[in-house]
Amino acid sequence: MADGEVQLRSLERWLTIQWPNARDVTCAFVGSPKTGMSNDTSFLDVTWQENGAARNRKLVLRRAVEGLEVHPPQVCLAARSTELQHAVMQALDRSGAIPAPKVLPLERNVDWVGAPFFLMEFVAGITLSDFPSFTEIGPFVDAAPEARSKMYDRSLTHLAALHCVDWRAAGAAWLDRAAGDEPRCPAQMALWREYCAPIFERDEFPVLKQAVSWLSNNYPDEPAPSLVWGDARPQNILVNAALEPLTIMDWEGAAILPAEFDFAYWLWNDYFVHERVGVTRRSGVPSRHAQTEFYSRALGRSLQAVPYFRVLSLMTIVASMFNVYERLAGQGVALQADECARLRLRCIPAVARW
């Protein structure tokens, strides 16, 4: 059998263990997403018999990938992003605060499909595009202004709800890099200095190096920490045809940090999909000022230390994207030099302009 067929038969046996009442479990691959590098992701169609009735369910398989992680592992308890994502989604399911995919148990035994993996529910919906930007073409552009406005309002409401989660009660305290009530930024910067060190060995990247140094020497007075998404942007929210958010995806960057980190990340993405690509803000899309006011109300407090978190979030974007382009270059995709030049010349200097 081909490797794919071997994996399918293994998954059938694994599901039979998870579902003791299931008989004649059959799995078939039915596609994969167009984007994403942190996992090997595939869609599965699963059929089985249970109590004399035919059942069918669509699941998503996420397998760990070898090589450099796109996001640095937050803690040794989840050394691979697959483990971290699974544990975070379990915590979110326990909290019930926001819509996130439900997951089956994590499987660390590599004998099943060649790597640690988990299965999660499939949610049918629309993923807003990165390339070209969803602000340039597609359902977001074609939607009514009211639909665009509601998408932003509901997405920011979900973001604030995430940041209000009692992450300790939800079972996510393991994700915290700091001890006790210590500030979170120093521990986070220790992680990112380690992550950036191999980048500086390969490339001088002076602006990124300057950002890392500034962040390490200018820690702010921090607001209370939250469970943060780490990749907060509309492209990671599955929506329906009316642009209503269905579920929030891609938790490999999750961490325990002040909520300001995620919101700064969200606003940088807003800059990237508008000014960065030369797209005029469409009718119904709130300005960054309006988004800030809306989010602050939903969060229930004013934002603090905003300049610091603008730089911190942008540093993480640039450093992780550098490694994404390195990986693509290693796969023969010839865009590394061009894209990294753009990151240096157009992204980080934007801190001074915005």
Q: Would you say residue 135 has pLDDT above 70? A: yes
pLDDT digits (tens, 9 = 90+) for 82-96: 899 999 999 999 999
Is pTM, for the whole model, over 0.85?
yes
Q: Would you say residue 146 has pLDDT above 50? A: yes
- How high is the pLDDT of residue 70? 79
Under a CB-based contact definition with an 8 Å cutoff, are residues 155 and 94 in contact? no
pLDDT digits (tens, 9 = 90+) for 190-233: 999 999 999 999 888 888 999 999 999 999 999 999 999 999 99
The domains found in the chain, sorted by start residue, are 3-66+101-121 (3.30.200.20), 139-353 (3.90.1200.10)
Strand partners, 29: 44
Q: Would you say residue 162 has pLDDT above 90? A: yes
* More confident position, 51 or 2: 51
Strand partners, 296: none
* More confident position, 32 or 318: 318
- How high is the pLDDT of residue 338? 46
- How high is the pLDDT of residue 323? 78
Q: Would you say residue 337 has pLDDT above 50? A: no
Task: Tell me the mean pLDDT in the region 120-126.
Answer: 95
- How high is the pLDDT of residue 343? 52
- How high is the pLDDT of residue 39? 63
pLDDT digits (tens, 9 = 90+) for 31-53: 887 655 556 899 999 999 999 99
Tokens of 203: 């490339």
Q: Would you say residue 341 has pLDDT above 90? A: no
Q: Write out the chain in H/E/C secondary structure.
A: CCHHHHHHHHHHHHHHHHCCCEEEEEEEECCCCCCCCCEEEEEEEEEEEECCEEEEEEEEEEEECCCCCCCCCCCHHHCCHHHHHHHHHHHHHHHCCCCCCCECCCECCCCCCCCCEEEEECCCCECCCCCCCCCCCCHHHHCCHHHHHHHHHHHHHHHHHHHCCCCCCCCCHHHCCCCCCCCCHHHHHHHHHHHHHHHHHHCCCHHHHHHHHHHHHCCCCCCCEEEECCCCCHHHEEECCCCCEEEECCCCCCEEEEHHHHHHHHHHHHHHHCHHHCCCCCCCCCCHHHHHHHHHHHHCCCCCCHHHHHHHHHHHHHHHHHHHHHHHHHCCCCCHHHHHHHHHHHHCCHHHHC
pLDDT digits (tens, 9 = 90+) for 261-276: 999 999 999 999 999 8
Range with lowest mean pLDDT among 147-161, 274-288, 327-341: 327-341
Taking all residues of the chain, what is their mean pLDDT, rounded to a whole number? 89
- How high is the pLDDT of residue 324? 78
- How high is the pLDDT of residue 331? 63
Angle at 266 between CA 262 and CA 272, to 5 degrees: 140
* More confident position, 275 or 323: 275
Range with lowest mean pLDDT among 7-21, 149-163, 336-350: 336-350
pLDDT-derived band at 1 (thresholds 50, 70, 90) equals very low
